[in-house]
Amino acid sequence: GLTEFHPRFPGRYAAPVSLAGGRLDLRLLLDASSLEVFAGEGSTVLTCLVFAAAGPRRMVLSATGPEAPAVDGIRIHRMGSAR
């Protein structure tokens, strides 16, 4: 995305989460300028601004540690306009 306007703007974010029965449910809400991540039914929340460049986009999620969960499934829903 667009990050050259300030050297401290781009970042990588991390937050601790607790697994419930070896599972972690994530809900990601992405729109034109923000990403919100809700983990564990809202027990952990991250919000960040996104200034995406034109063209194809990609998102990378990763988990580390001895109890890192595997991806069980992904569902994508189109969000409607707020207008």
pLDDT of residue 52: 75
Contact 55, 2 (CB under 8 A): no
Residue 6 has pLDDT above 80, yes or no: no
pLDDT > 70 fraction of the chain, expressed in percent and rounded: 96
Segment 52-81, tens digit of pLDDT: 778 887 777 777 777 777 777 778 777 777
Residue 37 pLDDT greater than 70, yes or no: yes
Task: Specify the pTM.
Answer: 0.71
* Torsion on CA atoms 22, 74, 17, 42, rounded to nearest 10: -120
